[in-house]
Amino acid sequence: MSALPAAPQAINVATSDAADLRGRSRLRLLLAYGLGDAGTGMAASLIGFYLFIFYTAAAGLPAWMAGLVLMLARLWDAINDPIVGWLSDKTRTPWGPRLPWLIGSALPLGIAMALMWWLPPGDLWVRFWVFVAISVLANSLYTCVNLPYAALAAELTTNVNLRTRLNTSRFTGSIIAGLVGIVLGGLLLRDHDNPANYWRMGVFSGLIITVCTLLCAWGIAPMARQCQQPTSERGSTRRLLKRVGGNGRFLRVLGLYLLLWCALQIMQTAALIFLPVVMHVPEGWSNWILLPFQISTLVGLQIWTSVSHRQGRIRALHWGAGLWITSCVGAMLLIPLDAAIAPLGSLDNGLRLAALVGVILLVGLGASTAYLIPWSLLPDAIDADPEKPAGQYSAWMVFTQKICISFALFFFGNLMSFSGYVASRGMLQPDSALLAIRLCMGIIPAVLVVLGLVVMRRWPEKGLHLQPHPTAP
């Protein structure tokens, strides 16, 4: 791989490193940074678990059409990532390059995210195009908040352990908010066919997104104004692309991120079909049984953060991926509940339910590596570039992720249609549909996780986890 070209002369700006913060100042930074992904994390969780169900059960779209909406929205979302990343790196204000994006996009994002759960009048094709338009708007605004926010982890500090702690705070906030989202879904979506329930959920989540984003901007403002900023970049778009494409570390982190998140997205989308259709879990229970996943993911974040500090991030990835693959195998072998009696109506049903919850807990522990490890490795790749354009690298990471996920969701929707699956309450699904749903919860994500481990062979960790730990607040 050819060496990256030398950076142009940096702009002379007085900077500070968040590793120098102590006491309440550091606590404020960590808490506020965690809030930045809380609102958007709740939105992502609700979209991941419920949007496909909303399109098929409440709006009446066939599975292939719902998958097409998700794919088109993701494709546009991916296209605008490099644009926002480039503009964010070029932004010059007294508040730094990132804060104005968070503050200016907070309220519009909350409104757009609420509208994603609105059922428009008209026939299926009218609804299809309205859903596409709203999704394009919401995802564009999501990028305007989330991408500059994500870039800050590499700019606030050069300390590896503090960067890991920032990402732990980020995804802790995201997963706790996702947990709240599942509770919200359990309370409001007792009937998956009622569009009014989805609208109430959307309004509530939109309000949370706006408030959390504004609180994050307020909390990180002192450091975000003075932290490391991108140097002035000159040259063509082709040169910038060549620079990103020539960063071997970045390409490996990117490959890992794509594979793990495609695996997680497929499992998330399939989960609320797998539980009632394959496992015969009552619909009212299906919403709540996702809680163990969020809780174990939250616990997994703390475990893998600790392992990263002591054994290194790649060791944490290997251990977490092993649990994830084991849980995927378990999902293929689970025995469905007896639908004729309540889930706890017999010892046999109770044991089957316990086995299901056990697999869900393992999935959460393992899948938490998809949140933590790629983003904790990304700053290493950015540091390998003399210009350190964190916005560009974050943009390309999210851009390619969304491209892959869009095709993964389109693949899922078409797989469901081709397998004979029909979104209709109480309908007996064909064996081909049951097998396809199991594959999306088992073999397919397991293969993707294994490929992620292959990509990260011989990563140059070189004891970076042995850097002195930043003093706890």
What is the predicted pLDDT for the residue at 5? 43
Cβ–Cβ contacts within 10 Å for residue 5, how many? 14
Q: Does the pLDDT value for residue 41 go beyond 60?
A: yes
Would you kindly state where each structural domain of the chain is located, as residue ranges? 30-228+248-461
Q: Does the pLDDT value for residue 462 go beyond 80?
A: no
Q: Looking at domain 30-228+248-461, does it have CATH number 1.20.1250.20? A: yes
Cα separation of the two ends of the chain: 41
What is the predicted pLDDT for the residue at 9? 41
Which CA distances in Å does 414 have to 60, 169, 421?
Answer: 16, 37, 10
Average pLDDT over residues 18-42: 82
Q: Does the pLDDT value for residue 14 go beyond 60?
A: no
Read off the pTM: 0.67
447-465 burial string, b = 16+ CB within 10 Å, else e? ebbebbbebbeebebeebb
| pLDDT band per the 50, 70, 90 thresholds, residue 26 | confident
Average pLDDT over residues 250-273: 88
Which CA distances in Å does 124 have to 17, 107, 131, 421?
Answer: 53, 30, 10, 19
Q: Does the pLDDT value for residue 10 go beyond 60?
A: no
What is the predicted pLDDT for the residue at 2? 40
Q: Does the pLDDT value for residue 118 go beyond 70?
A: yes
Average pLDDT over residues 226-237: 61
Please report which helix (H) or strand (E) contains residue 299, including its range. Answer: helix 291-311
Cα torsion 310, 315, 321, 322: sign: negative
| pLDDT band per the 50, 70, 90 thresholds, residue 339 | confident
Which has more pLDDT, 10 or 38? 38
